[in-house]
Amino acid sequence: MRICCIIQILVFLYMKWDPKTASTSTLVLLVFYLYFYSYYIFCDEKEIPFVRFDEEDWNYLSNICPFFVIAVSWTYMFTVRQPEFVLHCAYHVIICIFSMNLYKIKSDDRVSLNQIAMAQSVPPGDIQTQPNAKIVFNAPYDDKHTYHIKVINSSARRIGYGIKPTNMKRLGVDPSCGVLDPKEAVLLAVSCDAFAFGQEDTNNDRITVEWTNTPDGAAKQFRREWFQGDGMTETKSDIDELDQRSMIIHWLISLLFAVGAVENYDGDEELSCKRRHGGIPLPLGVFTVQKEGFPDALPAIRTALSHVHTRSCILQGYRLEMIVKDTHCKTSQGMKALFDLIASRPRPVAILGGQCTEVNEPIAMALKYWQIVQLSYAETHAKFASSDSHELFPTFFRVVPGNRNTNMAKCKFVNHFGWKRVGTVKQNDQPRYALPHEALTTRLEHGFGVKIVHTAGVNWEQIETVGAELDELKERDVRIILVDVDEEMAATVICAGYHRGMYGDNYVWILPGYHSDKWLNKTHDNCTAEEMKEAARNHFSVEFALTRRDVDTKIVGNTRAGDVWEEISKLDPNNTWRGYLYDGLWTLAIALSHSMGDNAEFSHHKMIEAIDNSSFQGLTGKVKFVNNERLGLVDIKQWSEGQYIPFAMYDGAEDEFKIIESTSKGWSPPLDSTITERRREHISSLLFLAMSLLALIGIFLALIFLLINFRYRNHRFIKMSSPNLNNIIIAGSICTFASVIMLGLDTRIVSPDGFVWLCYMKTWTLCLGFTLSFGAMFSKTWRVHSIFTNIRMDRKAIKDSKLFLILGVLLFIDLCVLVTWAFISPFSYTVTELPHIPEDNIVIIPEVEKCYSSHSGVFQAVLYAVKGVLMILGCFLAWETRHVNVPALNDSKYIGTSVYCCVVMSVLGLSTSVILQERVNEMFSLASFFVIFSTTLTLCLVFVPKVIELARNPVGNEPRAYRRGLMKSVVAKTSQPMSPQPRSDSSGDLMNKAESENKLRRRYLHQKSTQLWDLVEKLRARGDTQFLQQGMI
Beta bridge partners of 48: 51
Would 403-544 and 680-958 be classified into the same CATH topology? Answer: no
Dihedral Cα 106, 107, 109, 115, nearest 10 deg = 170
620 CB neighbour count, 10 Å cutoff: 28
Burial class (CB in 10 A: 0-12, 13-18, 19+), 869: exposed
Residue 32 — very low, low, confident or very high, per pLDDT cuts 50/70/90? low
Residue 100 — very low, low, confident or very high, per pLDDT cuts 50/70/90? very low
Residue 1025 confidence (pLDDT) = 52
Beta bridge partners of 511: 541
Segment 283-312 mean pLDDT: 90
Phi-psi region of 826 (alpha: psi -120 to 50; beta: other; left: phi over 0): beta
SS (H, E, C) 837-904: EECCCEEEEEEEEEEECCCHHHHHHHHHHHHHHHHHHHHHHHHHCCCCCCCCCCCHHHHHHHHHHHHH
Q: Using the predicted structure, report yes or no on whether residue 426 has a pLDDT greater than 60.
A: yes
Residue 899 confidence (pLDDT) = 67
- Edge-to-edge strands, sheet with 373-376: 318-326, 280-288, 350-353, 373-376, 396-398, 629-630, 621-626, 615-618
Q: Mean pLDDT check: name the lowest of 512-521, 788-797, 812-821, 957-966.
A: 957-966
Distance CA 274, CA 900 (A): 118
Domain boundaries, the chain: 2-105+250-270, 122-237, 280-400+553-631, 403-544, 680-958, 980-1032
Residue 473 confidence (pLDDT) = 94
Strand, coil or helix: what is 287? Answer: strand
- Classify domain 403-544 at the CATH class level: alpha beta
**Do the Cβ atoms of 758 and 745 come closer than 8 Å?**
yes
Residue 45 confidence (pLDDT) = 42
pLDDT digits (tens, 9 = 90+) for 190-245: 888 887 766 677 767 788 888 888 887 777 777 777 766 544 333 333 333 333 44
Residue 285 confidence (pLDDT) = 94
pLDDT digits (tens, 9 = 90+) for 517-573: 888 877 777 888 888 889 999 999 999 999 999 999 999 988 899 999 999 999 888
Distance CA 730, CA 705 (A): 8
37 CB neighbour count, 10 Å cutoff: 22
968 CB neighbour count, 10 Å cutoff: 14
Distance CA 620, CA 634 (A): 10
Burial class (CB in 10 A: 0-12, 13-18, 19+), 820: middle
> What is the amino acid identity at position 718?
I
Beta bridge partners of 626: 629
Residue 452 — very low, low, confident or very high, per pLDDT cuts 50/70/90? very high
Distance CA 681, CA 699 (A): 28
DSSP 141-167: -SS-EEEEEEEEE-SSS-EEEEEEES-
Q: Mean pLDDT check: name the lowest of 350-354, 845-849, 900-904.
A: 900-904
Strand, coil or helix: what is 249? Answer: helix
**Most confidently predicted of 111-115, 621-625, 888-892:** 621-625
- Classify domain 122-237 at the CATH class level: mainly beta
Residue 788 confidence (pLDDT) = 67
Residue 496 confidence (pLDDT) = 93
Q: pTM score, two decimals?
A: 0.56
Q: Are strands 185-192 and 280-288 parallel, antiparallel or unpaired?
A: unpaired
Segment 1005-1017 mean pLDDT: 74
CATH 3.40.50.2300 assigned to domain 280-400+553-631? The reply is: yes
979 CB neighbour count, 10 Å cutoff: 6
Strand, coil or helix: what is 271? Answer: helix
Would you identify the CATH topology of the domain 680-958? Answer: Rhopdopsin 7-helix transmembrane proteins (1.20.1070)
Strand, coil or helix: what is 274? Answer: coil
Q: How many helices (H) and strands (E) does the chain have?
A: 32, 31
